Structures are given as C-alpha cells and as structure tokens.
Amino acid sequence: MPRAARPLIKTLRHFVRARQGATAVEFAFIAGPLLMLIFGVLELALVFMVATTLEGATAAAARPLRTGELQTSGGASKEAFAKAVCDRMSWLGSTCAGNLQVDVRTYADFTSLRDDPAMTGGNFDPTKTCWSPGGPTDIVLVRTYYNWTIITPLISNALVNAPGNKRMVSAVEAFRNEPYSDAPPTGAKC
C-alpha cells in the first residue's frame, strides 16, 4: 500500500467506526418520507372532515326547504341557502362562500329524479346549477359541492378530481316537501 494512501485509509476506518451523529444521519434518511406520510394523513383527514361537515350542513340547511319554512317566509334564494350551509361550516371561515356550489331541483316523481341526466351524468358543471325549491309535496333534490384545495404533492394524484389541484366534495339530500299549504304541487323543474 502506498504511503500517501495510509492516512486516507486510517481516516476512513475512523469514520466507519464512529458512532457520534449516527442517529441524526439515520433520521435524515427517513425524515422526508415520514413528513410526507404525516402531511398526507392530515390532508386526508381534512378532506374527510370537509365531507362530513358538508353532509351535516346540507341536511340541516335543507330542513327549512322540506318544511316550507324557507318558501313561505320569502327567503328562499340560492344565496340564503348557501349562507345557511356555510354558517354550519364555520370552521372554514370566509373561504366557504367562494368554494361552495348549490344545486336544488324539483321533480314531479321519483322516477324522473332517477332518470335525470343531472343524476346519472356524473360530472358537475357549475355553470348549470339550478334553484327550484318546489312547493308543497314536491320532490326536491338538494346537492352541494365544495372545492377543497389539495396541498400535499404526492397524495394529490389520488385525491384531485377537479381542475386546479382541487377535490370536489359533494353532499346530496332527496326528499318530498311536506304539505305546508293547500296549494297543489307545482312539479316545476329547471
């Protein structure tokens, strides 16, 4: 072995036997994947929380439609309904109003609801929403959509289902309005 290589080999042997900082080096190897896993789990939990909150808020906001309270009070508007949903999702703050879409349709019977392209099409078009809360004993379909922005890079491939790195979360309520007046059913549809 050449004389010049001896100090280098001695230094390498010393480096291999050294144990100071081994834990830090090992953590550096797993820190990236560990942090991505933690952020991915947190992101998935937030998506589930948005979905659960949206379902509860939609059901609670649809109750005044079902009982006729909203229609008879004169406050039956898409904006008022969206505000009622957002009020029940207060943890989202001011972002709720800009990311929430509401679609309320009235049907003459449950068969026409089942056969409607809006139900079977699968893709939501925010430019084709409707506001038709119906009258007494009408069948009403309430759908709400919330766009949640996905921020974790690797999980976005699995969760994104809308343009702009977003996850469209939806909730649906279908019901027959209560007979809150003596007027005949309208069956209006948009």
Q: Model pTM greater than 0.85? A: no
CA 124 to chain CA mean position, Å = 13
The one-digit pLDDT tens for each residue of the chain (190 residues) are 667 777 878 887 877 777 777 777 888 889 988 988 899 899 999 999 999 999 999 999 999 999 988 888 777 789 999 999 999 999 998 899 999 999 999 988 888 888 777 666 556 676 788 898 888 888 999 999 999 998 887 777 788 888 888 889 999 999 999 988 765 555 555 6
